[in-house]
Chain A
Amino acid sequence: MSLSTEVREYSGVTIVDMTGRITLGEESGHVRDTVRGLLESGATKIVLNLAGVTYIDSSGLGELVSAYTTSRNQGCEIKLLNVQAKVQDLLQITKLHTVFHCLTDETEAVTSF
């Protein structure tokens, strides 16, 4: 299952709804291209909605970390929304839960910036 993304705006926050797997190859590249495009268009608050993402491998995690650091270096903040259980487990194993701000409610995510 490949990765699909849809971008929308909500109260000045850019929300990226993601569905599928984020793994080594095209899927990771898709995340990179999407975030890069948003940064180029001037986004400063981004929420990656992972409600539809049930599987991320180490390359996918690396891509999320790259998105986080690249955005931060450009004055943009990235937060994660609706992280599924198996992905949450990975964030715990890799201690990336200490890096990412993860939320479960979209309104709360939008107002948290």
Chain B
Amino acid sequence: MTDCRKLRLSLESTLDSIDAAELIVQRLAELNGFNEDQVHQIGMGVRETVANAVKHGNAFNLAKRVSFDAAVDEAAFEVTVTDQGAGFELEDVADPCEGDNLLRASGRGLLMMKAFFDEVEVGRCAGTGTRVRLVKYCAKGAS
């Protein structure tokens, strides 16, 4: 990445951190010329990712942190969120759009990340927990 803006944060496992992460990436996206719809999508995808890390990964445990990295240049907006939880297997995540899953109260976060970002990678980090990497390519002016 050339002329890249980078940001690294260590977030508490609280609801306030979810709001903060959303606001930060929205501002970063605005400053880098993303349009209103893209800013909304970036904010929402990051909100879902950090919410998963805080709620499901770290289970609101204040002794555990959420690592948050954002980088943006003229080509892409990239965010990596890492928790300190037990991790999960992607194949265990049910399709929330299928059959009776439609009426489940949870399980839509990953679907929303994939809807709003061009790339979504979920992996496990030895000794740390789950790492989610999101990339949205810059098509300035497009939605």
Contact = CB atoms under 8 A, between A and B. Distances in A.
Interface of A: 23-25, 55, 57-59, 61-63, 65-66, 68-69, 86, 90, 93-96, 98-99
A96 B106 CA distance: 13
A99 B97 CA distance: 11
B1 interface: no
B108 A61 contact: yes
Interface of B: 15, 18, 40, 44, 47-48, 51, 55, 96-97, 102-106, 108-109, 111-112, 115
A12 B30 CA distance: 46
Contacts of A58: 48, 51, 106, 108-109, 112
Nearest to B101: A95
Contacts of B109: 58
B103 A62 contact: no
Contacts of B103: 65, 68-69, 99
A65 B55 CA distance: 19
Contact of A57 (B48, B97, B104, B111): B48
Contact of B96 (A55, A57, A86, A94): A94
A69 B44 CA distance: 25
A96 B111 CA distance: 13
A57 B15 CA distance: 13
A24 B55 contact: yes
